[in-house]
């Protein structure tokens, strides 16, 4: 009767270690592999079929190392010659690659289609020309400083604590460092017990939306144009979204008269995507509304660290700390892959937000929190931000200079130039429209975002958001050349 053989090669390690057999420098001896073998037509044929299926299905990726023949044979209870014959057959067919003194590996065969993102682009392939807004140059990540801080954290008196179960509110050393840093650099009035560490701004807004919905808030105001992704987050939590039109002075607050409105989400330092700061008169008006109505202002300090041609714009939170939930993250300063963000909250919101965080994912990973705290304490974080600010300013100047003459020819307008990581370039009549620009960008491997989708309703104008930070510095001149071709007149 045929038998299914299931292998997990943990036993192979002991076999090779005991015999002292040479095994690709010990690499293959340390490899685990699960494989189901149907022996109806023989063990060798069954093993070949199982390995082919695993390779074709993508479970064994190109370049993946396989266990030694000795180890796999020991775990399956097969003769070593049977496994060797199966490996040899798959090498002959081109499924495996064998080199003397190295582990047998999976060949680079055409595999399953690359998963697509919601925008239709391969999510695992970096764009050839990266002009995405809101992303930093991760090639400039402060690796040396991060490694020094990591070593310090892992050699302190309590290094094991960062690997254990964490506090949903976040590690105390990071909350303490953030309270000092935010107060000194952004004018935020807070204390460590009012800060909650999250896994990114996306989670921060989701936590606040769930807490607002539980409190009975029926509607939330959001800037128009603005972050369409976060509009969806609010709606999924339950509240309706009310558009707050944006003009040259920031968000307009006529909709605040709606009694159903229990919160507003603002980017007061550098409005996304237009780049305008919220003017003082409107800052005072929205804070007075929040005090009188008991509503909440959610402040996304978008690009607050990056200003170039103007005086710093302080956080709105400092004007009404009991009515503003301040949101920040390292996504635009260090990199979005770190998944580290924070909320500085009014006192009455701390407990419900911590409960929501506990329900969402219990806690944010501890080691990164402690490393960031060390970077802040030693001011390595600020040194990195200052260096990045100089680099991004040079790129922004090159961008504006490059397209200054074309601006006169086609009536293009740059907005949001004094701060941030992108400029909004309008596309008026006389040049290519937004659809054509985005199609050209996609054809040459350029990541570029249009603005039409950022309006709550029909867009009154067309344009593109040109991010000048994500592209590595050495690639910036070539990226500008490619953008010039994409924007050329039809």
Taking the C-alpha atoms of residue 202 and residue 222, their distance in angstroms, rounded to an integer, is 15
Under the banding of pLDDT at 50, 70 and 90, the label for residue 9 is very low
What's the gap between Cα 223 and its chain centre?
Answer: 22
How far, in Å, CA of 219 to CA of 217, rounded? Answer: 6
Distance of CA 249 to the CA centre of its chain: 30
219-252 residue pLDDT tens: 999 999 999 999 999 999 999 999 999 999 999 9
pLDDT band of residue 10 (cuts 50, 70, 90) is very low
Exposure on the CB side of residue 361, measured as CA atoms within 13 A: 14
Decide: 447 and 125 in contact? Cβ < 8 Å: no
Q: Three-state DSSP class for 422?
A: strand
The pLDDT of residue 22 is 39
pLDDT tens-digit readout, 299-347: 999 777 888 876 778 899 999 999 999 999 999 999 999 999 999 999 9
Written as six digits, the tokens of 263 are 């919160």
Domains, the chain, ordered by start: 4-106 (1.10.10.10), 129-138+383-486 (3.90.1150.10), 141-379 (3.40.640.10)
Question: What confidence tens digit (pLDDT) does each residue in 73-87 have?
Answer: 888 889 999 999 999
């Amino acid at each position: 009767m045929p038998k299914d053989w299931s292998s997990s090669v943990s036993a192979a390690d002991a076999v090779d270690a005991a015999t002292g057999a040479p095994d690709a420098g010990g690499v293959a001896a340390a490899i685990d592999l699960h494989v189901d073998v149907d022996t109806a037509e023989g063990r060798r044929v069954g093993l070949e079929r199982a390995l082919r299926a695993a390779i074709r299905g993508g479970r064994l990726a190109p370049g993946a190392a396989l266990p030694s023949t000795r180890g796999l044979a020991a775990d399956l209870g097969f003769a070593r010659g049977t496994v060797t014959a199966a490996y040899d057959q798959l090498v002959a067919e081109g499924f495996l690659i064998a080199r003397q003194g190295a582990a047998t590996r999976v060949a680079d065969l055409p595999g399953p289609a690359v998963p697509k993102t919601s925008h239709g682009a391969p999510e695992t392939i970096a764009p050839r020309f990266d002009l995405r807004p809101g992303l930093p140059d991760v090639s400039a990540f402060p690796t040396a400083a991060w490694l020094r801080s990591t070593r310090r954290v892992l050699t302190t008196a309590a290094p094991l604590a960062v690997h254990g179960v964490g506090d949903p509110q976040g590690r105390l050393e990071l909350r303490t460092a953030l309270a000092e840093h935010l107060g000194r650099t952004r004018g935020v009035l807070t204390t460590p017990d009012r800060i909650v560490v999250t896994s990114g701004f996306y989670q921060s807004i989701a936590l606040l939306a769930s807490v607002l919905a539980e409190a009975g808030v029926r509607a939330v105001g959001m800037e128009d144009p603005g972050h369409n992704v976060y509009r969806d987050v609010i709606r999924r939590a339950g509240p309706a979204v009310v558009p707050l039109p944006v003009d040259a002075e920031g968000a307009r607050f006529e909709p605040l008269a709606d009694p159903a409105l229990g919160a507003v989400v603002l980017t007061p330092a550098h409005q996304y995507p237009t780049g305008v700061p919220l003017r003082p008169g409107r800052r005072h008006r929205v804070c007075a509304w929040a005090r009188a109505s008991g509503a909440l202002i959610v402040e996304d300090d978008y690009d607050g660290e990056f200003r170039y041609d103007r005086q710093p714009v302080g956080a709105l939170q400092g004007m009404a700390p009991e009515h503003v939930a301040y949101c920040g993250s390292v996504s635009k300063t260090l990199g979005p892959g770190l998944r580290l963000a924070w909320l500085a909250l009014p006192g009455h919101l701390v407990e419900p937000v911590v409960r929501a965080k506990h329900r969402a994912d219990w806690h944010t990973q501890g080691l990164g929190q402690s490393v960031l705290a060390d970077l802040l304490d030693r001011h390595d974080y600020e040194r990195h931000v200052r260096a990045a600010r100089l680099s991004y300013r040079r790129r922004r100047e090159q961008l504006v200079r490059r397209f200054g003459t074309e601006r006169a020819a086609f009536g293009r307008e740059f907005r949001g130039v004094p701060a941030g990581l992108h400029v909004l370039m309008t596309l008026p009549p006389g040049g290519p429209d937004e659809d054509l620009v985005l199609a050209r960008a996609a054809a040459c491997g350029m990541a570029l975002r249009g603005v039409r989708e950022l309006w709550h309703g029909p867009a009154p104008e067309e344009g593109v958001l040109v991010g000048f930070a994500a592209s590595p510095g050495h690639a910036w001149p070539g990226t500008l050349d490619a953008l010039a071709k994409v924007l050329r007149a039809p």
